[in-house]
């Protein structure tokens, strides 16, 4: 199971790196073309915008997994160990519920925009808005994988560099 989880995390990270590299390459090519030849790619800005949307949603799960989202832990830290465990359990239930709700809302929104097309690429907008349910589904998967660790100790993101 650990091997599957590591492969899932590595694949998620690799998709993000490749997507960011493609976006940077397209934008770099567009800027260079604009200044060197006076011509630019008509679709480059649209690709960059939609790539950023997809990269944001695809990366949310990894950020959640590593405790990189904003968190206020004062109330949790003030509680005794048993209270912290209960609070973390409640937080997990709320997060799972919210993420599932957002998958449903994202699918609904995606279906409502199925007849629209993007201006430059003429891509159905439902594929752009599909980033939302896919991203929240990934967040559910990442949260499910780190939930046992979170229940035991919480996820902490340190601002300090590791001592080594």
Residue 162 CA: distances (Å) to CA of 40, 94, 149, 155, 159: 45, 32, 20, 16, 9
Using 50, 70 and 90 to split pLDDT, how confident is the model at 70? Answer: confident
**Share in percent of the chain as helix, strand, coil (round to 5):** 75, 0, 25
Contact by Cβ (8 Å): 101, 121? no
Over residues 142-155, the mean pLDDT reads 87
pLDDT tens-digit readout, 83-132:
989 999 999 999 999 999 999 999 999 999 999 999 999 999 999 999 99
Nearest to 139 by CA among 129, 127, 131, 149: 131
Q: What is the pLDDT of residue 145?
A: 95
Using 50, 70 and 90 to split pLDDT, how confident is the model at 158? Answer: very low
Q: pTM value?
A: 0.86
**Residue 130 neighbours by CB under 8 Å, 6+ apart:** 106, 110
Beta bridge partners of 124: 117
Q: What is the pLDDT of residue 164?
A: 38
pLDDT tens-digit readout, 3-35:
999 999 999 999 999 999 999 999 999 999 999
């Amino acid at each position: 199971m650990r091997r599957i989880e590591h492969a899932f995390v590595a694949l998620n990270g690799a998709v993000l790196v490749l997507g960011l590299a493609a976006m940077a390459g397209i934008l770099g090519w567009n800027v260079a073309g604009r200044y060197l030849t006076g011509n630019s790619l008509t679709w480059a800005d649209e690709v960059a915008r939609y790539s950023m949307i997809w990269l944001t949603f695809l990366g949310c799960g990894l950020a959640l997994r590593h405790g990189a989202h904003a968190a206020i832990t004062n109330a949790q830290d003030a509680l005794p160990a048993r209270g912290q465990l209960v609070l973390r359990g409640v937080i997990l239930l709320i997060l799972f519920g919210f993420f599932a709700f957002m998958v449903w809302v994202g699918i609904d929104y995606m279906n409502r925009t199925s007849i629209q097309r993007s201006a430059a690429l003429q891509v159905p907008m439902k594929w752009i808005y599909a980033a939302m349910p896919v991203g929240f589904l990934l967040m559910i998967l990442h949260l499910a994988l780190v939930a046992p660790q979170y229940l035991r100790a919480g996820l902490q993101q340190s601002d300090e560099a590791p001592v080594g």
